[in-house]
């Protein structure tokens, strides 16, 4: 065996000392702040309303209704606990919720944030400070606007699904997929903190379905709200929203009713492929949108001349122009043309940075829609 020199022994003992230091550091790291999964309460939906002296925050937190059996969660029940507090800021309200519940509020799985109609977005740094302060908040949290009060939606227990908040999230996702509204996430707001604040946010409302004792609350997405300068400037119906979602290159499939020769036909637009570009023609900004999509119509009219490609293209163009007009007129560049201006014509953007609405309102929309009937 090779003779172990003193240096080798010293080296090994040096390594061992360092390992002891490491072990000590990790031990102290853990002992000082021990965390257990049961010390947290999981929040999956939040509502924020404006109150007289600040904000009113309502939370849906997880509480198992069926613990003790073989399956921890009973999906026939709502499995939520509802809680509402008031405070000067949202962060303070969350702290009060923790105090009330006796456990840390964990926002890592926050699915949806619903804002009340009267919440102002003029100071997003203050409004979203809780999301920046708490590093666990997911950037893809879906945001929506309540038709009246957010607490009306959040404080309602839904029976369907394993979690009450799933219903709100699924309603939003489904409507975005079908073009009845647009997607709005926390990242969209945070990214625009230092930019012109033009946002489009889904609008949700609560309705009751069924009759008598079998009445059940149902979440309904009633369209899209446009926000400009921190305030809601316009509401778009679901039909106008799908035009907006096409212009934003978000929507991929839509159901519509297209009229022709005094009759209405069910059409499903699918596989939308949108190409957007900005150029300057004759000293004016032109926003070109090329849309290729297919339309699925009912069998009996597919091979007839009743519904032609031109009808469908015209219908789409009407919807798109209506959405554009409403957006521009309300002073909200919900389509995001300003980003194209900023990338392609930075000098123009810098020149009009403080008055970007004027620049957008003078932009011409040029559409080229190719719709093929399947």
Q: Which residues bind other proteins (CB under 8 A)?
A: 1-2, 7, 10-12, 14-15, 17-19, 21-22, 24-38, 40, 42, 44, 62, 64, 67-68, 72-73, 79, 106, 108-109, 111, 134-136, 138-140, 162-163, 183, 187-188, 190-195, 250, 336, 339-340, 342-343, 346, 349-350
Angle of CA points 298, 304, 308, to nearest 5°: 85
Residue 121 neighbours by CB under 8 Å, 6+ apart: 115, 127, 189, 197, 199, 227, 230, 231
- Nearer residue to other proteins within complex by CB, 297 or 341: 341
Cβ atoms < 10 Å from Cβ of 306: 14
- Nearer residue to other proteins within complex by CB, 271 or 329: 271
Indicate the DSSP class of residue 248. Answer: T
SS3 109: coil
Strand partners, 204: 146, 221
- Nearer residue to other proteins within complex by CB, 56 or 199: 199
Strand partners, 58: 47, 84
What are the residue ranges of helices labelled H in 248-308? Answer: 299-302
> What's the closest the beta carbon of residue 159 comes to other proteins, in angstroms?
17
Indicate the DSSP class of residue 185. Answer: B
- Nearer residue to other proteins within complex by CB, 247 or 312: 247
> What's the closest the beta carbon of residue 318 comes to other proteins, in angstroms?
26
Residue 137 near residue 60, CB atoms below 8 Å: no
- Nearer residue to other proteins within complex by CB, 194 or 303: 194
> What's the closest the beta carbon of residue 218 comes to other proteins, in angstroms?
22
> What's the closest the beta carbon of residue 194 comes to other proteins, in angstroms?
7
> What's the closest the beta carbon of residue 90 comes to other proteins, in angstroms?
17
CA–CA gap between residue 324 and residue 99 (Å, rounded): 47
Name the helix (H) or strand (E) containing 370.
strand 364-373
- Nearer residue to other proteins within complex by CB, 125 or 298: 125
> What's the closest the beta carbon of residue 36 comes to other proteins, in angstroms?
5
């Amino acid at each position: 065996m090779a003779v172990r020199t003193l240096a080798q022994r010293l080296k090994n003992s040096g390594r061992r000392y360092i390992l002891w230091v490491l072990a000590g550091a990790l031990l102290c790291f853990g002992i000082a702040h021990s965390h257990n999964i049961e010390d947290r309460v999981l929040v999956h939906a939040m509502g924020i309303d404006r109150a007289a002296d600040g904000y009113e925050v309502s939370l849906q937190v997880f509480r198992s209704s069926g613990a003790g059996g073989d399956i921890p969660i009973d999906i026939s029940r709502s499995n939520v606990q509802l809680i509402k507090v008031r405070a000067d800021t949202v962060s303070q309200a969350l702290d009060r919720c923790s105090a009330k519940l006796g456990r840390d509020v964990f926002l890592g799985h926050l699915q949806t944030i619903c804002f009340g109609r009267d919440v102002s977005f003029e100071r997003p740094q203050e409004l979203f400070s809780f999301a920046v302060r708490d590093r666990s908040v997911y950037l893809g949290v879906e945001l929506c606007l309540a038709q009246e009060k957010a607490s009306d939606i959040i404080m309602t227990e839904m029976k369907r699904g394993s979690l009450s908040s799933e219903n709100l999230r699924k309603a939003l996702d489904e409507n975005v997929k079908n073009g009845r509204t647009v997607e709005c996430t926390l990242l969209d707001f945070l990214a625009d903190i230092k930019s012109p604040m033009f946002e489009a946010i889904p609008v949700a409302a609560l309705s009751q379905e069924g009759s008598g004792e079998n009445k059940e609350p149902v979440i309904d997405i009633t369209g899209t709200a446009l926000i400009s300068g921190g305030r809601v400037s316009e509401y778009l119906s679901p039909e106008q929203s799908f035009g907006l979602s096409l212009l934003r290159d978000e929507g991929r499939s839509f159901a519509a009713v297209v009229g022709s020769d005094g009759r209405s036909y069910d059409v499903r637009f699918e596989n939308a492929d949108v190409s957007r570009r900005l150029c300057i023609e004759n000293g004016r900004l032109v926003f070109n949108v090329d849309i290729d999509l297919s339309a699925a119509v009912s069998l009996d009219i597919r091979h007839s001349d009743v519904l032609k490609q031109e009808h469908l293209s015209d219908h789409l163009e009407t919807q798109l122009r209506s959405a554009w007009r409403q957006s521009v007129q309300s002073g909200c560049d919900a389509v995001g043309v300003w980003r194209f201006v900023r990338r392609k014509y930075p000098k123009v953007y810098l020149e009009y940075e403080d008055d970007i609405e004027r620049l957008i309102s003078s932009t011409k929309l040029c559409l080229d829609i190719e719709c093929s009937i399947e």
